[in-house]
Amino acid sequence: MATLQLGSNYLLSSSSFSNQRRICASLHVPSPLGAKTVSLPKLPALIKVEELGLKEHNNSDGSYTQPHQPMTADKDHDRLVAKLLAIAEAVADRAEMHAIIGDQRNNWNHLFLHSINSINLTASLMAGISAALTVGEAAPHLPAFKLSSVVLFTAAAGMMLIVNKIQPSQLAEEQRNATRLWKQLERSIHNTLAHREPAESDIEEALEKVLALEKAYPLPLLPEMLEKFPETVEPTRWWPKIQRRGQETKKACANGMASNGWSKELEEEMLGIHRVLKTKDEEQYVRLGKLVLDINKTLAISGPLFAGMAAIGAGLIGSPVDSPVPVLVGVVGGALAAVVNTVEHGGQVGMVFELFRNCGGFYRRLQEEIESNLRESEVEKREDGELFRMKMALQLGRSLSELKGFASYASSSLQDEDLKEFAGKLF
């Protein structure tokens, strides 16, 4: 018993000793040298459910459920984005279609050019051979060569009439410019989605631009093909009509600097640029377009006329036998028809005319952009003045310092005949 009691006392003392050591260890934790004491802020014991944006609903099992939050704003945003993406997809498809058709019509121009020239020259050669067969033992072969020459000249005249009507080089230029503008519209839509929240006005504006582009550069060849020989020459219009906010151009910045980057000096610059664009740049390209159109009309009439005269001359070879006039008309007429066809379609006169119309339209659009800003009497509703000035300089191919020189052209005392400088330097 003594031994058992001694053992139990020993175990009890050992247990208490070890408990004391554990308590000491938990109270005196050794810390590394140089450590600083960090005091933590007091956290609230309870977090209210309302602070989490939750509202408790009493269920049968005592749990709560989160109420449904309205998603109207997000749905409207997603709907607008989906609409703009659908328009952008359609615009990208149109750009691809115009690019393909542009290549096709450019191939038309080359194929018709070389084919018609080959036909005219071959027919001229046959007409010359027919003249050599009018006498001698080869006279029985005359009708075959003469008839072949007439058929070829007639075919060439008919083909030239069709090709001169549709002007393949001009068609190709229309599609090239349309492809560029469709791609530009696609980029503007993606920029809208990337940099700001879309609005309903963005949808309407994009649709208006799509319709304006379709009207300016139609895809079908017939019956919606643009008139290749219009009575009056007007700059091409591929943008929707800009809404006018006032009846006349106003100067909203009477004194000094106004808000939104506009100032009296900037308004004077824009008025001067507008006047020069209208009086010099646009007028120049309209005038050149009229000149090229007249040249193209002359060539379009002369080519089939020469080929038709050559067909008549080739048909009259050998009657009378000694007359050189039919041979002369047939051979020379065919050669002249080939020359005229080469000048008209090899020189792509129709493309040059379309290029001048597009250049005139480019400057007309800049004028309307200036007008739409200056006619807004509330400066805050205008486009940012400094940004607009920089965009205008880039589109005209000029530096910002060069634009300051146009302020003097805004003066009414300066006559239009005194304007010697053009606003645009790009073309």
* pLDDT tens-digit series, residues 251-261: 455 555 567 88
Query: Residue 43 — left, alpha, or beta (φ > 0 → left; ψ -120 to 50 → alpha)?
Result: beta
Tell whether the model's pLDDT for residue 12 goes beyond 50. Answer: no
Question: What is residue 252's predicted lDDT score, i.e. its pLDDT?
Answer: 52
E-strand ranges in 11-53 read none
**pLDDT band per the 50, 70, 90 thresholds, residue 73:** low
Spatial distance between the Cα atoms of 224 and 241, rounded to a whole number of angstroms: 21
Tell whether the model's pLDDT for residue 37 goes beyond 80. Answer: no
Amino acid identity, position 131: A
Buried b (16+ CB within 10 A) or exposed e, 267-298: bbbbbbbbbbbbbbbbebbbebbeebbebbee
Question: What is residue 39's predicted lDDT score, i.e. its pLDDT?
Answer: 52
Tell whether the model's pLDDT for residue 53 goes beyond 50. Answer: no
Q: What is the mean pLDDT of residues 380-390?
A: 90
Question: What is residue 377's predicted lDDT score, i.e. its pLDDT?
Answer: 82
Question: What is residue 392's predicted lDDT score, i.e. its pLDDT?
Answer: 94
- pLDDT tens, 92-107? 999 999 999 999 999 9
Tell whether the model's pLDDT for residue 35 goes beyond 50. Answer: no
Question: What is residue 76's predicted lDDT score, i.e. its pLDDT?
Answer: 84
Tell whether the model's pLDDT for residue 146 goes beyond 70. Answer: yes
Spatial distance between the Cα atoms of 424 and 394, rounded to a whole number of angstroms: 10
Spatial distance between the Cα atoms of 222 and 105, rounded to a whole number of angstroms: 14
What predicted TM-score, i.e. pTM, was given to this entire model? 0.76
Question: What is residue 60's predicted lDDT score, i.e. its pLDDT?
Answer: 54
**DSSP-assigned beta bridge partners for residue 257:** 263
Average confidence score pLDDT of the chain: 82
* Residues 228 and 207: beta-carbon distance below 8 Å: no
**pLDDT band per the 50, 70, 90 thresholds, residue 133:** confident
Rounded to the nearest angstrom, the gap between the alpha carbon of residue 48 and the centroid of all alpha carbons in its chain is 57
Other beta carbons within 10 angstroms of residue 224's beta carbon come to 10
Find all residues with CB under 8 Å of 376, minimum gap 6, and list them: 245, 246, 252, 382
Q: What is the mean pLDDT of residues 377-401?
A: 91
Question: What share of the chain has pLDDT > 70, as a percent?
Answer: 78
Question: What is residue 132's predicted lDDT score, i.e. its pLDDT?
Answer: 80
Ramachandran angles phi, psi of 46, nearest 5°: -130, 145
Spatial distance between the Cα atoms of 173 and 357, rounded to a whole number of angstroms: 11
- pLDDT tens, 402-420? 999 899 888 888 888 888 8
- 73-77, 149-153, 214-218: least confidently modelled range: 73-77
Question: What is residue 416's predicted lDDT score, i.e. its pLDDT?
Answer: 82
